[in-house]
Amino acid sequence: MKNRFRSSSEHTLDGKGRLNFPSRFRDVLNQYDSKVLMVAPWGKSHLRAYPLSEWESFEDTLMTEGKRQKDVAKFMRYIVSSVVECSLDKQGRILLPQRLRDVANLDREVVLLGTINRVEIWNREVWEKENQDTSENFEAFDDQFAEMGIF
């Protein structure tokens, strides 16, 4: 069983848009036998970075299950045409292209969130607001947790 992307950390983008990928996340990525992340915008709120095999699984699901969902073709065009392959350099950084940084409003201060099979990249201020909103309305998830058998 593979380790998973967990926890969060704050980072600073350098002037070229390079982002240090934390060593604990690099260790997980290594279990995928890859130094490549597929980075895509997730609306305008953040970016999602997937190991290549997880991204391919996501695409497979879109191709099979997406046929049953309304407007998935629009989503597919948006996501698949926007994804960028980002390789780790020798210092363990990835270069986020300017267009992706612009879409997600990423400036110098960012937060990386491990979310099991992927890493999310957020503008720090946007993440703090999102996280605060979730914290304040946490009980809204009770029914969904119960349906999943977590409670």
pLDDT of residue 70: 81
Residue pair 47/104 in contact (Cβ under 8 Å)? The answer is yes
In whole angstroms, give the CA distance from residue 90 to residue 120. 22
* Mean pLDDT value across the chain: 93
The answer to the question of residue 149 being in a domain is no
CATH of the domain at 95: 3.40.1550.20
Query: Under DSSP, is residue 89 helix (H, G, I), strand (E, B) or coil?
Result: coil
What are the tens digits of pLDDT across the range 97-119? 999 999 999 999 999 999 999 99
How many domains does the chain fold into?
1
In whole angstroms, give the CA distance from residue 101 to residue 93. 15
pLDDT of residue 142: 86
The answer to the question of residue 60 being in a domain is yes
Give the residues of the chain that fall short of pLDDT 50: none
Domain that holds residue 19: 8-123
pLDDT of residue 1: 65
DSSP conformational letter for 104 = T
Q: What are phi and psi of 16, to 5 degrees?
A: -95, -5
pLDDT of residue 45: 92
The answer to the question of residue 35 being in a domain is yes
Length of the chain: 151
**Upper half-sphere CA count for residue 104 (Cβ side, 13 Å):** 31
